């Protein structure tokens, strides 16, 4: 009996330590550098640092993409291209579950069930739908948008996002600075559901705050880097050639000060370039340093001081170092991406495997949810 109790304690202790991490990204096709540093590199690090008992679910949020108008053929290709990019940056489908959201119909079902418990006023206070409709209407301010054009899907998509997370009983969710409001809604709806069924069915997920900062446009540092920006020089795509990367970085706006410093409030353009450089792996920088690059030495403020000493504080030297760093880091990613796109059947198999694993977990969750709510099995 004592051996059985000891084994049970070890099993319970393992369960207590097990993390379930869930995160998604919208299918905009080939990612840009902001996507790479903001999400994809974080996902790869989480995968590589995960314990064997951890579960990781990374999905392409194709249902979320439909909250704004889409070209069906383009959306299909964008889904596939993003899937190839996820594998190319280092995600391993045998170590994490990578799947298409639209291939797991239980997401929409759970979203509806949670919507029935979602206060309208709470959704009305969410900020993301306001910023998206402002972008659609080309409005300079979120306070002057025409809400009569607001579609229900865009308004309620934070509830679908909640379903995405709770479906897999997530314990942790990687979030950036601008996503914490959504996670708070998820936590509140999980509490609400648990109270309604009188049991702690859904874990209350915790935030995994990403150390990477939001990457801004190379041409307008008041806006985030975006594929929808009209100026192609405002962003660096993961498939850009070395010549394109050098040209775009060279054209990036800076300022007229003679030295480098990291000050996002007063020097957003220079600070953005330093922030990108800090996100790179550091091989190019290491060749200029006598000491090993540590995380402290990858701090943007430290890099500014180093470049002031190494290159006289010129923005041109910063741009050269940055362009070389980006080219070096993306070279193996681009090689793998090209191989995946050209290899017949491989992405189909990845899709099939991810769908199978995600659906199995989702079916288990929804079977229990239906029982608790008195619905047909």
Distance CA 205, CA 57 (A): 14
Distance CA 369, CA 169 (A): 12
Q: What pLDDT tens digit does each residue of the chain (377 aa) get?
A: 444 334 444 334 444 568 999 999 999 999 999 999 999 999 999 999 999 999 999 999 999 999 988 999 999 999 999 999 999 999 999 999 999 999 999 999 999 999 999 999 999 888 777 777 766 666 655 566 667 778 899 999 999 999 999 999 999 999 987 788 999 999 999 999 999 999 999 999 999 987 777 899 999 999 999 988 889 999 999 999 999 999 999 999 999 998 999 999 999 999 999 999 999 986 566 555 545 555 555 789 989 998 898 777 789 999 999 999 999 999 999 999 999 999 989 999 999 999 999 999 999 999 999 999 999 86
Distance CA 174, CA 24 (A): 9
Distance CA 84, CA 149 (A): 35
- The set of catalytic residues is 132, 224, 227
Q: Are 282 and 299 in contact (CB under 8 A)?
A: no
14 backbone dihedrals φ, ψ, rounded to 5°: -65, -45
For the full predicted model, state whether its pTM sits above 0.75: yes
The separation between the first and the last C-alpha atoms of the chain, rounded to the nearest angstrom, is 38
263's tokens: 């000050």
- Residue 254, classified by CB atoms within 10 Å of its CB into exposed (0-12), middle (13-18) or buried (19+), is middle
**265, β-bridge pairs:** none
CA distances from 174 to 163, 178, 346 (A): 16, 12, 28
Render 114-155 in DSSP notation, one character per residue: HHTT--HHHHHT-SHHHHHHHHHTT-S-GGG--GGG--HHHH
Domains of the chain: residue spans and CATH: 20-131+148-215+344-373 (3.40.50.620), 242-341 (1.10.240.10)
List pLDDT tens digits, range 351-372.
999 999 999 999 999 999 999 9
Distance CA 135, CA 130 (A): 9
Sheet containing 20-25, strands listed edge to edge, beginning at the edge strand earlier in sequence: 97-100, 55-60, 20-25, 172-175, 206-209
- Report the pLDDT value the prediction gives residue 51, as an integer from 0 to 100: 96
Query: Tell me, what DSSP letter sits at residue 37?
Result: I
Q: Are 161 and 182 in contact (CB under 8 A)?
A: yes
Query: Tell me, what DSSP letter sits at residue 177?
Result: T
Residues ≥6 apart with Cβ < 8 Å to 311? 317, 318, 321
Report the chain's C-alpha Rg in angstroms.
22
């Amino acid at each position: 009996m004592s051996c059985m109790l000891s084994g049970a304690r070890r099993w319970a202790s393992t369960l207590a330590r097990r993390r379930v991490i869930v995160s998604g990204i919208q299918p905009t096709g080939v990612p840009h550098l902001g996507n790479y540093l903001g999400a994809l590199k974080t996902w790869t690090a989480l995968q590589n640092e995960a314990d064997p008992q951890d579960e990781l679910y990374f999905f392409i949020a194709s249902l979320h993409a439909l909250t704004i108008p889409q070209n069906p053929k383009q959306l299909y290709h964008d889904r596939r291209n993003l899937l190839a990019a996820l594998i190319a940056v280092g995600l391993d489908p045998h170590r994490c579950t990578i799947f298409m959201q639209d291939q797991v119909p239980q997401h929409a079902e759970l979203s509806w069930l949670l919507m029935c418990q979602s206060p309208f006023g709470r959704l009305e206070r969410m900020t993301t739908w306001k910023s998206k409709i402002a972008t659609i209407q080309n409005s300079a301010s979120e306070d002057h948008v025409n809400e009569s054009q607001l579609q229900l899907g865009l308004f309620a998509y934070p509830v679908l996002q909640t379903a995405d997370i709770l479906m897999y009983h997530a314990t942790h969710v990687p979030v950036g600075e601008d996503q914490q409001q959504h996670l708070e809604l998820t936590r509140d709806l999980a509490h609400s559901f648990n109270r309604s069924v009188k049991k702690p069915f859904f874990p209350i997920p915790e935030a995994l705050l990403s150390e990477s900062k939001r990457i801004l446009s190379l041409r307008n540092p008041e806006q985030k880097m975006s594929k929808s920006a009209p100026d192609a020089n405002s962003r660096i795509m993961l498939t850009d050639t070395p010549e394109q990367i050098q040209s775009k970085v060279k054209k990036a706006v800076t300022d007229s000060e003679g030295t480098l410093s990291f000050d996002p409030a007063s020097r957003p353009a220079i600070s953005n370039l330093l922030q990108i450089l800090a996100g790179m792996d550091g091989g190019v920088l290491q060749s200029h340093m006598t000491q090993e690059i540590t995380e402290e030495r990858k701090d943007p403020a430290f890099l500014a001081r180093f470049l002031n000493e190494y290159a006289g504080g010129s923005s041109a030297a910063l741009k050269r170092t940055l362009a070389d760093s980006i080219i070096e880091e993306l070279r193996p990613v681009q090689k793998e991406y090209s191989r995946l796109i050209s290899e017949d059947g491989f992405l189909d198999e990845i899709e099939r495997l991810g769908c199978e694993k995600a659906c199995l977990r989702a079916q288990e969750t929804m079977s229990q949810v239906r029982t608790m709510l008195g619905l047909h099995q």
